[in-house]
């Protein structure tokens, strides 16, 4: 079994990016993406930005690891899809709760990232904003 993962630029470049650009650019991206989500019609664009937040903050691409398994000389992709909550329930959640809970959640995640010691937890939270705002299952 092998795992293919793109780690992005080196640690030094990512650290310089975070200190000079990443912290304020990620705040701007969160505001723009949140505005897109609240407008509802721009919801897909908002979540495209949310999915890129870790890369905006630290230049490290989102971990979309592909696990492969070789059997009988052929390569197979492992894993499957996760069953999602019905769209109507997710839409009602977003309209009544998700948009404002997501705002607080993102604020906490960003603050954790900026204080540096909370960076791993903040990035983990940013990678799961869809679960908070729309009950997306990963």
Decide if pLDDT at 2 tops 90: no
Decide if pLDDT at 7 tops 70: no
Beta pairing, strands 66-71 & 74-77: antiparallel
What is the C-alpha to C-alpha distance for residues 58 and 55, in angstroms, rounded to an integer? 5
Task: For Cα atoms 47, 53, 58, give the angle at the middle one, nearest 5 degrees.
Answer: 165
Instruction: For residues 80-89, give the mean pLDDT.
Output: 84
> For residue 21, what pLDDT is reported?
95
Burial of 74 (0-12, 13-18, 19+ CB in 10 A): exposed
Decide if pLDDT at 33 tops 90: yes
> For residue 83, what pLDDT is reported?
87
Please tell me which residue, 116 or 67, carries the higher pLDDT value: 116
Helix residue spans in the chain (DSSP H): 11-17, 23-38, 43-51, 53-58, 87-93, 99-114, 119-126, 129-134
> For residue 117, what pLDDT is reported?
94
Instruction: For residues 109-117, give the mean pLDDT.
Output: 95
Decide if pLDDT at 114 tops 70: yes
Instruction: For residues 101-109, give the mean pLDDT.
Output: 96
């Amino acid at each position: 079994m092998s795992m293919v993962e793109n780690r992005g630029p080196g640690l030094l470049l990512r650290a310089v990016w975070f200190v000079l650009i990443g912290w304020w650019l990620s705040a701007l991206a969160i505001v723009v993406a949140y505005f897109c989500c609240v407008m509802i019609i721009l919801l897909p664009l908002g979540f495209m930005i949310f999915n890129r937040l870790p890369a905006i903050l630290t230049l490290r691409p989102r971990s979309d690891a592909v696990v492969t398994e070789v059997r009988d000389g052929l390569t197979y992709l492992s894993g499957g899809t996760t069953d999602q909550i019905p769209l109507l329930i997710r839409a009602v959640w977003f309209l009544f709760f998700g948009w404002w809970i997501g705002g607080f959640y993102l604020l906490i995640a960003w603050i954790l990232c900026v204080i540096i010691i909370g960076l791993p937890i903040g990035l983990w939270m940013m990678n799961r904003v869809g679960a908070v705002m729309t009950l997306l299952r990963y």
